Amino acid sequence: MSTAFEPLAFEPGYRRVASAIAARIFDRTLRDGDALPSEVELAQQFAVNRSTIREALRELESSNLVARRRGTKRMVVSRPAATQVAGRVGHALALNDVTVREVWETMELLEPAIAEAAARQATPAALEAIRAAVRGYAAEHATARAAVAGVAEFFRAVAAASGNRVLPLTQEPLLLLLAAALEVIIDRAPPARARIATAQQHVLEAIAARDAPLARSWMSKHVRDFRRGFEISGIDLDTPVPAPATD
């Protein structure tokens, strides 16, 4: 019995070049800040036209894997910023009709564990960053947008204090998706600002005291409280989240 094979997909030359360069970046042969050869040198090495190289570099640049060095035409290897990664993931989640409930449930699983880790790992500098986020929240006076930004900054500071670099990257898309719903909560549920400020203070105190179970417990209460805010605000938890705003 013969086996049927699918035709090979056509891939433009520039994409093959981009894939080859990306492979060197991902296997760490090329590291952040390393300069790529000039377009002429790359064209010679790949045996293609310079126009093919330019297209390949444009594709890599759009993926934030390379960037143009200031004042020159030379490209260097770059590292995508956490916000760039989060924006892409956030848009992918929104396009898949992820709901407010799913985002909230994921935060409920993630944030208490992050607070627990922060209580064990936080350095003095990380603690000061959390204190600054709590002070900056300014619950009594902030506009809805500023208050939401303060909530996000608090979560980010706690995640950074955990010492695990994967956690902030995992958390960031959720914060972007949660922002729009939180703005509505803060506007429609008057006690929300004060309750958020109280919870932040308790989480901070538990982390500062190195009390991991208490930090986890207070963060769990903090995130659970958002659901009450959704209900008071009349937000259907099964509503798809909007795509995060783009700058």
Write out pLDDT tens, residues 138-192: 655 668 888 888 899 999 999 999 999 999 988 988 888 888 778 777 777 777 8
At 247 the pLDDT is: 55
What gap in Å lies between CA 61 and CA 101, rounded to an integer? 35
Closest CA to 146 of 84, 196, 198: 196
Give the per-residue pLDDT at 118.
98
Question: Can you state the percent helix, strand and coil of the chain, rounding each to 5?
Answer: 65, 5, 30
Confidence of residue 116 (pLDDT cuts 50, 70, 90): very high
Q: Domain segments of the chain: what residues? A: 13-77, 82-233
The pLDDT of residue 9 is: 66
Percent residues over pLDDT 70 in the chain: 94
Token reading at 61: 């640049």
Q: Which of 62-66, 90-94, 121-125, 171-175 has the lowest mean pLDDT?
A: 90-94
Q: What is the pTM of this model?
A: 0.77
Joined together, the tokens standing for residue 191 give 């006690």
Highest mean predicted confidence (pLDDT) among 46-55, 90-99, 119-128, 169-178: 119-128
**pLDDT by residue (tens digit) across 182-192?**
877 777 777 78
What does the mean pLDDT of the chain come to?
A: 87
- What fold characterizes domain 13-77? Arc Repressor Mutant, subunit A (1.10.10)
Mean pLDDT, to the nearest integer, of 193-207? 93
Burial class (CB in 10 A: 0-12, 13-18, 19+), 221: middle
pLDDT for position 141: 63
Which comes out higher in pLDDT, residue 72 or 20?
20
Mind listing the pLDDT tens digit for each residue in 73-109? 789 999 877 777 777 877 788 778 888 888 889 999 9
Residue 236 pLDDT = 84
CA distance 152 to 17: 39
Structure tokens given for 161: 């204090």
82-233 homologous superfamily? GntR ligand-binding domain-like (1.20.120.530)
